């Protein structure tokens, strides 16, 4: 089969790497890809938002299956567009992608189907929002509706911080804001819960925990993710049942009752308090860096899973996993998530000796004349599997230290909640 993966992050490199292990693959393309995907696939330099050009390439290259990594093309309807042109695609269509694209879409489903989530109000006027806040308890959470690439969420400690957040959102900091969401602050520990769906059935994919804040001890600004580990230490049979029965199944029922089907990965961002799950948000894709952390644990052929999802045949696939602990540390460009410099050479990558349980997934990298340069805030993902999170972390740290990239920084405490407790 000829496969085309859309995206350019660590998630997409991990997908390319995992499908490259399948005997069913004859060729992989990645649009636009990075220096890591270039080693396994042919990178095609096309704009991921230009659906017409992507279609033209896919037809010319006789691609059998397209796998969409990031949320933006999904929310903008790339699956509908390609399917309407006769192309097989793994990923949700436009309306179900609103689960990530619009927080109010998701909140309205939660209300109708009684899905546990933070109490909330939706406002479309600044004055109404501020009136509501004047009578609220703090901390409180304020969110812009729509895709804000991990930003657009404020946790305000008091009224003046909250007012500033409301002003920034309505003044268009995250694009045109028609609606704003004010939410109760949930206490607890966060967990990422993944399922894969074929439109009729779903299977649990795996759990993980990521570290979104830039500094050690989970302090500082929000980022795309500084590291992750899988499985989550919070998961147990009774919690899993509650997540399925109270959150995942009612959501898929809601999509079904809209006359739509959910096909693809569904990522529930949960807050767990006293073994009870609350939905914080949905994403309609794999997480990044959770994908890089989880895929090395998968024993089942990933291509079989994608094909089964596209033919509503997931029921007949048995998902098998390695019984190991996976931990990922992200090496970032100095300055991230604020200003950073690109185009800094990364020497030494080829000198690192990886064993079978070590993986380096590229994110913001590019290749020029056989040399690798940084090309983004999150640059490389170091993943190790072993029988304990502690050993996995030590191994990943050892490899990062061996690389010794002078422009980089990383968190040394990934997994501290489970390792150092």
DSSP assignment, residue 158? Answer: S
Phi, psi torsion values for 31, nearest 5 degrees? -115, 115
Q: Pattern 164-193, binding to ligand AMP, x per CB under 6 A?
A: -------------------x-xx---x---
In 33-179, alpha helices (H)? 51-60, 71-75, 78-84, 98-101, 103-113, 126-134, 159-170
Options 82, 142, 162, 280; binder of ligand AMP; rule CB under 6 A: 280
Helices (runs of H) and strands (runs of E) counted in the chain: 14, 22
Residues 6+ apart with CB under 8 A from 353: none
Supply angle C-alpha 135, 141, 144, rounded to 5.
110
Q: Which structure tokens are listed for 239?
A: 């919690």
Number of chain residues interacting with ligand AMP (CB under 6 A): 11
Among the residue ranges 55-63, 79-87, 135-143, 283-291, the one whose residues contact ligand GLY (CB under 6 A): 283-291
Selection from ligand AMP, ligand GLY, none that 118 binds (CB < 5 to 8 A by kind) is ligand AMP
Number of chain residues interacting with ligand GLY (CB under 6 A): 7
Q: Which of residues 344-363 bind ligand GLY (CB under 6 A)?
A: none
Q: Pattern 193-232, binding to ligand GLY, x per CB under 6 A?
A: -----------------x--------------x-------
CA distance 69 to 7: 5
141 belongs to the binding site for ligand AMP (CB under 6 A) = yes
DSSP assignment, residue 298? Answer: B
312 belongs to the binding site for ligand AMP (CB under 6 A) = no
Q: Pattern 188-227, binding to ligand AMP, x per CB under 6 A?
A: --x---------------------x---------------
Q: Which of residues 12-41 bind ligand GLY (CB under 6 A)?
A: none
Options 145, 183, 290, 413; binder of ligand GLY; rule CB under 6 A: 290
Phi, psi torsion values for 346, nearest 5 degrees? -115, 100
Selection from ligand GLY, ligand AMP, none that 225 binds (CB < 5 to 8 A by kind) is ligand GLY
118 belongs to the binding site for ligand AMP (CB under 6 A) = yes
> In the complex with ligand AMP, which residue's Cβ is closer, 37 or 223?
223
Q: CB of 92: closest distance to ligand GLY in angstroms? A: 15
How crowded is residue 237: how many other Cβ atoms within 10 Å of its Cβ? 7
CA distance 66 to 98: 20
Options 207, 230, 283, 365; binder of ligand GLY; rule CB under 6 A: 283
Options 15, 40, 153, 226; binder of ligand AMP; rule CB under 6 A: 153
Distance set, CA 137 to CA 157, 162, 194, 218, 412 (Å): 9, 11, 32, 24, 35
Residues 6+ apart with CB under 8 A from 243: 193, 268, 270, 277
287 close to 267: Cβ distance less than 8 angstroms: yes
Q: Pattern 27-56, binding to ligand AMP, x per CB under 6 A?
A: ------------------------------
Q: Which structure tokens are listed for 155?
A: 């946790």
Rounded (10°) angle between helices 103-113 and 249-257: 100
Question: Tokens 């929002």 map to which residue?
Answer: 129
Phi-psi region of 417 (alpha: psi -120 to 50; beta: other; left: phi over 0): alpha
Q: CB of 284: closest distance to ligand GLY in angstroms? A: 11
Closest CA to 326 of 346, 302, 298: 298
Selection from ligand AMP, ligand GLY, none that 301 binds (CB < 5 to 8 A by kind) is none
Q: CB of 144: closest distance to ligand GLY in angstroms? A: 15
Selection from ligand AMP, ligand GLY, none that 210 binds (CB < 5 to 8 A by kind) is ligand GLY
20 close to 372: Cβ distance less than 8 angstroms: no
Selection from ligand GLY, ligand AMP, none that 288 binds (CB < 5 to 8 A by kind) is ligand GLY
Q: CB of 137: closest distance to ligand AMP in angstroms? A: 13
> In the complex with ligand AMP, which residue's Cβ is closer, 221 or 241?
221
Residues that bind ligand AMP (CB under 6 A): 118, 141, 153, 183, 185-186, 190, 212, 269, 280-281
Residues that bind ligand GLY (CB under 6 A): 150, 210, 225, 283, 287-288, 290
């Amino acid at each position: 089969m000829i496969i085309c993966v859309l995206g350019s992050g660590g998630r997409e490199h991990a997908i390319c790497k995992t499908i490259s292990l399948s005997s069913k693959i004859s060729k992989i393309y990645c649009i636009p890809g990075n220096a890591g995907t270039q080693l396994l696939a042919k990178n095609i330099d096309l704009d991921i938002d230009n659906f017409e050009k992507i279609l033209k390439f896919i037809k010319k290259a006789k691609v059998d299956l397209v796998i969409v990594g990031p949320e933006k093309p999904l929310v903008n309807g790339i699956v509908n567009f390609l399917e309407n042109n006769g192309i097989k695609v793994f990923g949700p269509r436009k309306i179900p992608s609103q689960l990530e694209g619009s927080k109010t879409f998701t909140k309205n489903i939660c209300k109708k189907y009684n899905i546990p989530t933070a109490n909330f109000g939706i406002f479309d006027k600044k004055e109404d929002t501020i009136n509501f806040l004047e009578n609220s308890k703090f901390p409180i959470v304020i969110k812009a509706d729509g895709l804000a690439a991990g930003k657009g969420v404020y946790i305000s400690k008091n009224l003046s911080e909250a007012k500033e957040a409301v002003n920034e959102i309505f003044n268009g900091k995250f694009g045109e804001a028609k609606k704003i969401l004010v939410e109760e602050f949930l206490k607890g520990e966060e967990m990422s819960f993944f399922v894969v769906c074929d439109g009729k059935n779903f299977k649990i994919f795996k759990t993980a925990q990521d570290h979104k804040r830039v500094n050690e001890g989970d302090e500082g600004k929000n980022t795309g993710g500084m590291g992750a580990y899988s499985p989550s230490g919070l998961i147990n049979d009774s919690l899993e049942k509650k997540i399925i029965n109270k959150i995942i199944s009612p959501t898929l029922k809601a999509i079904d009752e809209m006359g739509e089907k959910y096909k693809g990965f569904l990522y529930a961002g949960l807050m767990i308090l006293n073994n009870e799950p609350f939905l914080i948000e949905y994403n309609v894709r794999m997480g990044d860096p959770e994908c890089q952390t989880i895929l090395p644990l998968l024993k089942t052929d990933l291509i079989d899973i994608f094909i089964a999802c596209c033919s509503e045949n997931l029921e007949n696939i048995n998902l098998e996993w390695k019984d190991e602990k996976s931990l990922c540390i992200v090496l970032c460009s100095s300055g991230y998530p604020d200003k950073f410099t690109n185009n800094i050479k990364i020497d030494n990558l080829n000198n690192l000796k990886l064993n079978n349980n070590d993986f380096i997934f590229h994110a913001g990298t590019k290749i020029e004349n056989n040399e690798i340069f940084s090309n983004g805030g999150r640059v490389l993902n170091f993943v190790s599997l072993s029988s304990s999170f502690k050993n996995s972390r030590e191994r990943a740290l050892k490899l990062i230290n061996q690389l010794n990239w002078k422009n980089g920084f990383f968190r040394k405490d990934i997994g501290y909640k489970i390792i150092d407790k």
